[in-house]
Amino acid sequence: MQALALSAQRSLIQAINRTLFVTCLPRNQIPSSFYFLCAQTPGNDSQETLESKKEEPSCLSKRIERLQRGEPVGSAFQGWMGQGFPVHRGDIFHAINRLRKLQLNKRALEVMEWVIREKPYRPKELDYSYMLEFTIKLHGILRGEKLFCCVPPEFQNDLLYNNLVIACLDKGVIKLSLEYMKKMRELGHPISYLVFNRLIILHSSPGRRKTIPKILTQMKADKVTPHVSTYHILMKIEANEHNIEGLFKVFSEMKRVNVEPNEISYCILATAHAVARLYTVAETYVENVEKYMTGKNWSTLDVLIILYGYLGKRKELERTWGIVQKLPHVRPKSYMLAIEAFGRIGQISRAEELWLEMKSIKELKSTDQFNSMISVYCKSGFIDKASVLFKEIEMNGCKPNAITYRHLALGCLKAGLEEEGLKTLMLGENMTTSKRIRNSTPWLETTLSIIEIFAEKGDVGNAEKLFAELNVAKYTRYTFVYNTLIKAYVKARVYDPNFLRRIILGGARPDAETYSLLKLAELSQP
């Protein structure tokens, strides 16, 4: 029982970790999915083939996943037991993890209701914690609280309380969660670090970040040792704020308290330094990613693809992509990242090969798939090729989005089509774009590339307009972003005596290029 509980917590840790570095790539959500024992989800084929009949007895979760909508979950259990297979706790643990990954919460709740009702084995705290989790997800906290009161007293322990608090936090109900944590202290139940992880995530927005030190202080007061995933969350917050110094401070603290960094730690560090154009440092951290890498984690491989694109290492990029291709299932996202990575290092023909491969193997279902190749063409100024793909988007039932138009605007400007570029830029600005997208690295880098073109033309007005976007996302903490804007002033022969103060107040550190550009701007004014 204890082993199963620990396994459940370990799975949750891994799920949180997987979301921390893939975007820089963005994400600010924490999925409730775990790592799972089954790698693929079978198709919904109503007729059983001989092959599927052979597979079914070996995996109860597959039978449950293949149930048609509305078909009772009991039929899967009856078929399983009818062939002489007992229902073990491990079978349920496996099935629940699979259903959680597939976000089939209703089916997962039905499974637990059947287990509690039919009792194929004696239900314990882990079973009730599953029941509680999915009840709150589907029916709300009030129903979950009522269920909690009905759980046998011997199972109303720290595991159940921790899961209740986490479920409340997942619903964003912080005040009630804090009340339950207070009750846990009164009852002498230890609070899991997973609870504090959730609290930190919920307070990671700029307006709430001042609360995080208080959460860490309370964590220490409750004698809860921060887990490596706790530091990953803190590191990712700093990375998303483009605060390299803050990121390194968290990493140093992690090492000071003897929390061993892993591949995820170095993925966050390497990506943040690559985005900051500190490529030498990034390369060192990439070596550590390779060193600490365990198995063939697709998330880590995706990050390596991104990093080798930044570092211009074609050989290593090809090697990593070769490993990805040998995985049981290659996701469209991996194809997209590889296409963009090869495009970044100037291997346009290789990017086209992967695009055609993805097109033939994977169904083109999303605009993002088209955007990956459009971005490659536009960064290289091949607007004609990008336009062909743009026309294909709607033919495939998709719609161009703000990202599409921003890439196309860059492509037009690179090709010297200034009027068309400005019109395309306005088209994208009129579309609703989420904060997550506007803060994502690909969006920010594309925007900076457009500013560089405006800077070359001395177009201070348009450069400042787009610079304001980067400032909101705190991308302007990097000195090279300010230097790009100063070039527009130099080209336009405009001097602003307050520019240096503006840079410092903006959180960037002037470098030798900054001072040289400012001096040039002062001397070049008419």
265, part of any domain: no
Cβ proximity of 273 and 285 under 8 Å: yes
Q: At what angle do helices 298-311 and 279-292 cross, to 10 degrees?
A: 150
Q: Look at residue 45 and tell me whether its pLDDT is greater than 80.
A: no
29, part of any domain: no
Amino acid at 396: N
pLDDT for position 525: 77
Q: Look at residue 12 and tell me whether its pLDDT is greater than 70.
A: no
Cβ proximity of 450 and 425 under 8 Å: yes
Q: Look at residue 395 and tell me whether its pLDDT is greater than 70.
A: yes
pLDDT for position 46: 36
Q: What percent of the chain has pLDDT over 90?
A: 80
Q: How many domains does the chain have?
A: 2
516, part of any domain: yes
361, part of any domain: no
| Residues spanned by the domain of 520 | 460-525
Domain final position from 114, 130, 156: 156
348, part of any domain: no
Q: How far is the C-alpha of 395 from the C-alpha of 310, rounded, in Å?
A: 33
- The upper half-sphere exposure of residue 386, i.e. CA atoms within 13 Å in the direction of its Cβ, equals 27
Q: How far is the C-alpha of 466 from the C-alpha of 114, rounded, in Å?
A: 57
pLDDT for position 26: 35
Summary mean pLDDT of the chain: 88
Tokens of 352: 């086209």
491, part of any domain: yes
Domain final position from 112, 129, 156: 156
Tokens of 447: 């925007």
- Coil/strand/helix, residue 285: helix
Task: Output the pTM of the full model.
Answer: 0.84
Q: How far is the C-alpha of 236 from the C-alpha of 439, rounded, in Å?
A: 13
286, part of any domain: no
Higher pLDDT, 104 or 52: 104
Tokens of 431: 């579309």
Query: Which of 513, 471, 514, 517 is CA-nearest to residue 492?
Result: 517
Tokens of 464: 């400042």
Tokens of 506: 């903006």
Q: Which residue has the tokens 């990954």?
A: 101
Cβ proximity of 271 and 307 under 8 Å: yes
Whole-angstrom CA distances from 484 to 37, 274, 463, 494, 500 are 49, 18, 9, 14, 14
Domain final position from 117, 132, 156: 156
Q: Residues, the chain, total?
A: 526
Mean pLDDT of 192-206: 95
pLDDT for position 295: 79
Q: How far is the C-alpha of 59 from the C-alpha of 114, rounded, in Å?
A: 18
pLDDT in tens, 458-504: 999 999 999 999 999 999 999 999 999 999 999 999 999 999 999 99
* CA triple 283-480-472, angle to 5 deg: 105
328 pLDDT band, cuts 50/70/90, is confident
Q: How far is the C-alpha of 412 from the C-alpha of 428, rounded, in Å?
A: 14
pLDDT for position 226: 94
Cβ proximity of 525 and 496 under 8 Å: no
69, part of any domain: yes
Cβ proximity of 447 and 439 under 8 Å: no
What single string gives the DSSP state of each residue in 479-505?
Answer: HHHHHHHHHHHHHHT---TTHHHHHHH
Query: Which of 246, 305, 312 is CA-nearest to residue 279?
Result: 312
Cβ proximity of 29 and 236 under 8 Å: no
